[in-house]
């Protein structure tokens, strides 16, 4: 399978999921859609709405309650009143009197007005508890949104890294496929061993397995991102954005001094402790009497013994004198729960401090790991450039160039994965500190490689025949030996000997190397950037002999260079 066929298959595999066109979404758009559509957030919004209604419900208890009452009754016998003889004095009445109602049914209709006067603080503490409950629900909602934003950011950055890993793994697989194919040809011609072919096939199998893993990871990340945004499974999502190197500028002591002040989960727990304190006061109100004012108006059937209109005003008092210790036990129960919530609050504050410190240190670790991989990428790029130069001169085999190319793409995929991990840690730190991320970090762009340029240059050198047996190890050596014929020309006095320290496809990389060498007192070599065959090469001035060039570079202690004749 050729390199073109591999790229075509991978491209079709990525785009062949469906006919839907992927929707390009930025990070801000993903967060907005998640906040608006996520069902978990909606449940906390309903909790907040319930707390708002509960606050109105408890506030209404301070005001009078007006009720309308109506009653209709039917009895087997009409009501009657018997006045016995001499009830009101001797001979009055002189005999028993039976005052009977003619009707067997009766009705009453009226209004009842009840106004609490004193409840032992139950109403005021219940209302205060409802306010704390509402504040806690708002803090819970904000914290859940922060958690959702953190998860969306981590998945978004992981998707960006997976895309780049997919691309670099594809490039690496294509290079290893060419390596395997060339090794087969060399084995058939007797220039390679069976061991070389098995090693090439093993490298190809590892790269193929890694590509499948990266593609599955990319699909899984997008599935999780769709789940957070409550999008349909058929909707194709294409994250659009750039990863960067993130460096924390704020010292740890400043983070720890402000730990927990603005975190919404700590605020929610604080309001929970206040609710528990109010529950204690509500339970204690049972030790006090309840006094209320009640007014009533009734309209009823007029009888011999009942008036048609009845007005009543009264003050009532209730006091639980003895309830078998129920109120005291309720006070002790709520007090224990209040102490429990206070302990949870203190533990949450301590956990927040530990979490912030852990994330701060993890961010520094991930940044150092990212910079380490970046250094390896630059080294791998330099090795590849040197390999291309030696291959162009016919002094290196194509298989060694392909190994260098595959190694570069593998490092570049790991580079983006490390950058995504760094962004995920920073997102967690932003949530843990409740601070805007731009207030404590500095961004710088990642190191870039031109994919198409390198692949084209490697492919263009496939048909060059080596001029001599090329070594298997292409790592930079202290001295690159010059062929005998060319060395004789140098000893003849021709000023054609130069030192080359690197060759890059981008001028910025060459300028950085030039600046780095000049900072090592290499100015005496009169370094310059030479544009040659679409490469920017950092080279010294001419020397009259090879020994003179080696003597000059060894004084500076520079290890990586090539002697060009």
Least confident of 105-109, 405-409, 446-450, 468-472: 468-472
- How many independent structural domains does the chain possess? 2
What is the per-residue pLDDT for 300?
84
**Average of pLDDT values for 290-301?**
90
Does 564 reside within a domain? no
> Is the pLDDT score of 413 beyond 50?
yes
Instruction: Please check whether residues 153 and 57 belong to one and the same domain.
Output: yes
CA distance 86 to 486: 154
Q: Higher-confidence residue: 459 or 18?
A: 459
**Contact between 287 and 120 (Cβ < 8 Å):** yes
Residue 116, strand partner residues? 292
Q: Rounded CA gap, 19 and 234, in Å?
A: 10
Integer Cα distance of 291 and 320 in angstroms = 12
Q: What angle do CA 487, 489, 494 make, to 5 degrees?
A: 120
Percent of the residues in the chain that have a pLDDT greater than 90, as a whole number: 43
What spatial distance separates the first Cα and last Cα of the chain, rounded to whole Å? Answer: 39
> What average pLDDT score do residues 439-446 get?
92
Which pairing describes strands 23-25 and 237-239: parallel, antiparallel, or unpaired?
Answer: parallel
**Between the CA of residue 111 and those of 107, 309, 419, 460, what are the distances in Å?**
14, 12, 73, 99
Q: What is the per-residue pLDDT across 377-393, written as a single tens digit (0 to 9) for each?
A: 988 888 888 888 887 77
Q: Are 432 and 517 found together in one domain?
A: no
Give a yes or no: residue 315 inside a domain.
yes
Q: Which two tokens stand for residue 246?
A: 């993130």
In a domain, 549, yes or no: yes
CA 289 to chain centroid, in Å, comes to 54
Please give the average per-residue pLDDT across 224-234, as a whole number.
91
Is it the case that residue 487 has pLDDT exceeding 60? no
**pLDDT, greater one: 477 or 468:** 468
210-214, 303-307, 316-320: which range is least confident on average? 303-307
Residues 367 and 505 in one domain: no
Q: What stretch of H or E contains 254?
A: helix 252-257
**Are 446 and 506 found together in one domain?**
no
Residues 417 and 525 in one domain: no
Give the model's pLDDT for residue 305. Answer: 64
Measured distance CA(263)–CA(372) in Å, rounded: 34
Asked if residue 409 lies in contact with residue 374, where contact means CB atoms within 8 angstroms, the answer is no
The confidence band for 224, taking pLDDT boundaries of 50, 70 and 90, is very high
pLDDT-derived band at 475, boundaries 50, 70, 90: very low
Over residues 354-375, mean pLDDT: 94
Tokens 């096939």 belong to which residue?
A: 201
Strands 498-504, 535-539: parallel, antiparallel or unpaired by DSSP? antiparallel
Q: Are residues 197 and 110 in the same domain?
A: yes
Q: Label residue 464 by pLDDT band (50, 70, 90).
A: low
What number of other Cβ atoms are within 10 A of residue 383's Cβ? 21
User: Of 414, 438, 463, which one is at a domain's C-terminal end?
Assistant: 463
- pLDDT at residue 496, as a whole number: 65
pLDDT at residue 17 is higher than 80? no
Residues 439 and 520 reside in one and the same domain: no
Q: What is the reported pLDDT for 463?
A: 61
- Rounded to an integer, what distance in angstroms lies between the CA atom of residue 484 and that of residue 131? 91
Least confident of 146-150, 151-155, 387-391: 387-391
Which of 2-11, 349-358, 403-412 is the least confident region?
A: 2-11
Predicted confidence (pLDDT) per residue in 313-349, tens digit? 999 999 988 889 899 999 999 999 999 999 999 999 9
Instruction: Tell me, yes or no, whether 56 lies in a domain.
Output: yes
Distance in angstroms (rounded) separating the CA atoms of residues 313 and 309: 14
Contact 472, 399 (CB under 8 A): no
Mean pLDDT of 344-361: 94
Instruction: Verify that 252 and 109 share a domain, yes or no.
Output: yes
pLDDT at 476 over 90: no
Q: What value does the mean pLDDT take over residues 9-32?
A: 65
Q: Is residue 21 part of a domain?
A: no
Q: Are residues 273 and 135 in the same domain?
A: yes
pLDDT of residue 99: 67
Contact 120, 320 (CB under 8 A): no
pLDDT at 236: 87
Rounded to 5, what percent of the chain is helix, strand, coil? 60, 15, 25
CATH number of the structural domain spanning residue 532 = 3.30.70.1070
Give a yes or no: residue 391 inside a domain. Answer: yes
| φ, ψ (nearest 5 deg) of residue 295 | -125, 145
Check residue 484 and give its pLDDT. 35
- Which has more pLDDT, 279 or 504? 279
What pLDDT was estimated at residue 560?
72
Residue 439 and residue 507 in one domain:
no
pLDDT digits (tens, 9 = 90+) for 114-147: 999 999 899 999 999 999 999 999 999 999 999 9
CA 555, 557, 558, 562 torsion: positive or negative?
positive
Residue 515 belongs to domain spanning: 500-556
Residue 154 covered by a domain: yes
Q: Which span out of 13-22, 354-363, 554-563 was modeled with the highest average pLDDT? A: 354-363
Q: Which residue has the higher pLDDT, 428 or 519?
A: 428
Q: Is residue 333 part of a domain?
A: yes
| Spatial separation of the C-alpha atoms in residues 410 and 384, rounded to whole Å | 13
> What angle do helix axes 398-433 and 326-392 make, rounded to 10 degrees?
160
Residue 538 phi, psi dihedral angles, 5° rounding = -90, 115
**DSSP string covering 499-521:** EEEEEESSHHHHHHHHHHHHTTT
Residue 191: per-residue pLDDT: 75
- DSSP characters for 462-500? TTPPPSSPPPS--S--S-PPPPHHHHHHHHTT---BEEE
What pLDDT sits at residue 188?
81
Between helices 122-189 and 451-460, what is the axis angle to 10°? 10
Confidence of residue 541 (pLDDT cuts 50, 70, 90): confident
Question: Do 320 and 373 sit in the same domain of this protein?
Answer: yes
Distance CA 476, CA 540 (A): 17
At 149 the pLDDT is: 95
DSSP per-residue letters across 287-350: GS-EEEEEEEEEEE---SS--SEEEEEEEEEE-----TTHHHHHHHHHHHHHHHHHHHHHHHHH
Contact 30, 225 (CB under 8 A): yes
pLDDT in tens, 158-197: 999 999 999 889 888 988 898 898 888 888 877 778 888 8
Which of 463, 478, 511 terminates a domain? The answer is: 463
Domain check: are 179 and 60 in the same one?
A: yes
Say if residue 37's pLDDT is above 50. Answer: yes
Give me the chain's average pLDDT, please: 83
Reported residue count of the chain is 565
Q: What's the CATH number where 443 sits?
A: 1.20.1600.10
Single out the residue in 443, 463, 483 at which a domain terminates. Answer: 463
**Coil vs helix vs strand at 238:** strand
């Amino acid at each position: 399978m050729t390199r073109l066929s591999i790229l075509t298959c991978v491209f079709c595999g990525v785009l062949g999921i469906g006919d839907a066109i992927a929707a390009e979404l930025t990070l801000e758009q993903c967060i907005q859609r998640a906040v608006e559509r996520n069902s978990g957030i909606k449940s906390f919004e309903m909790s907040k709405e319930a707390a708002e209604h509960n606050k109105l419900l408890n506030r209404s208890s301070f005001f009078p309650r007006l009720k309308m009452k109506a009653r209709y009754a039917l009895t087997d016998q009409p009501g009657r009143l018997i006045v016995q003889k001499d009830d009101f004095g001797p001979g009055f009445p002189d005999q028993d009197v039976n005052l009977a109602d003619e009707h067997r049914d009766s009705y009453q209709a009226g209004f009842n007005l009840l106004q609490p006067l004193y409840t032992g603080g139950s109403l005021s503490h219940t209302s205060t508890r409802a306010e704390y409950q509402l504040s806690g629900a708002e803090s819970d909602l904000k914290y859940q949104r922060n958690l959702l934003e953190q998860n969306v950011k981590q998945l978004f950055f992981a998707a960006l890294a997976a895309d780049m890993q997919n691309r670099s793994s594809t490039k690496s697989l294509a290079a290893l496929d060419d390596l395997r194919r060339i090794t087969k040809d060399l084995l058939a011609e007797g220039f390679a061993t069976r061991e070389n072919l098995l090693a090439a096939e093993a490298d190809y199998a590892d790269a193929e397995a890694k590509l499948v893993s990266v593609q599955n990871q990319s699909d899984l990340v997008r599935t999780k991102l769709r789940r957070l945004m409550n999008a349909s499974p058929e909707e194709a999502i294409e994250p659009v954005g750039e990863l960067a190197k993130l460096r924390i500028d704020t010292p740890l002591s400043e983070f720890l001094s402000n730990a927990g002040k603005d975190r919404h989960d700590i605020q929610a727990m604080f309001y929970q402790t206040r609710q528990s304190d109010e529950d204690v006061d509500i339970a204690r109100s049972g030790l006090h009497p309840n006094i209320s004012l009640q007014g009533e108006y009734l309209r009823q059937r007029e009888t011999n013994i009942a008036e048609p209109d009845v007005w009543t005003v009264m003050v009532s008092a209730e006091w639980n004198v003895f309830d078998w210790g129920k109120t005291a036990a309720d006070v002790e129960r709520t007090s224990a729960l209040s102490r429990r919530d206070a302990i949870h609050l203190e533990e949450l504050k301590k956990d927040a401090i530990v979490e912030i410190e852990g994330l701060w240190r993890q961010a520094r670790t991930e940044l150092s790991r990212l910079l380490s991989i970046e250094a390896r990428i630059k080294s791998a790029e330099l090795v590849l450039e040197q390999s291309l130069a030696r291959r162009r001169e016919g002094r290196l085999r194509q298989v060694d160039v392909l190994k260098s190319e595959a190694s570069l793409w593998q490092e570049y995929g790991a580079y983006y994965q490390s950058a995504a991990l760094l962004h995920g840690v920073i997102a967690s730190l932003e949530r843990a500190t409740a601070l805007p991320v731009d207030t404590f970090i500095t961004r710088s762009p990642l190191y870039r490689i031109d994919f198409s340029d390198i692949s084209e240059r490697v492919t263009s050198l496939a048909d060059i025949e080596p001029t001599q047996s090329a070594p298997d190890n292409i790592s930079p050596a202290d001295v690159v030996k010059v062929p005998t014929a060319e060395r004789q020309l140098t000893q003849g006095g021709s000023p054609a000997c130069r030192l080359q320290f690197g060759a890059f496809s981008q001028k910025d990389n060459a300028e950085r190397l030039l600046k780095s060498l000049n900072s090592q007192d290499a100015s005496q070599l009169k370094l310059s950037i030479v544009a040659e065959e679409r490469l920017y090469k950092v080279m010294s001035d001419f020397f009259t002999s090879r020994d003179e060039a080696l003597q000059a570079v060894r004084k500076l202690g520079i290890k990586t260079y090539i002697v060009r004749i």
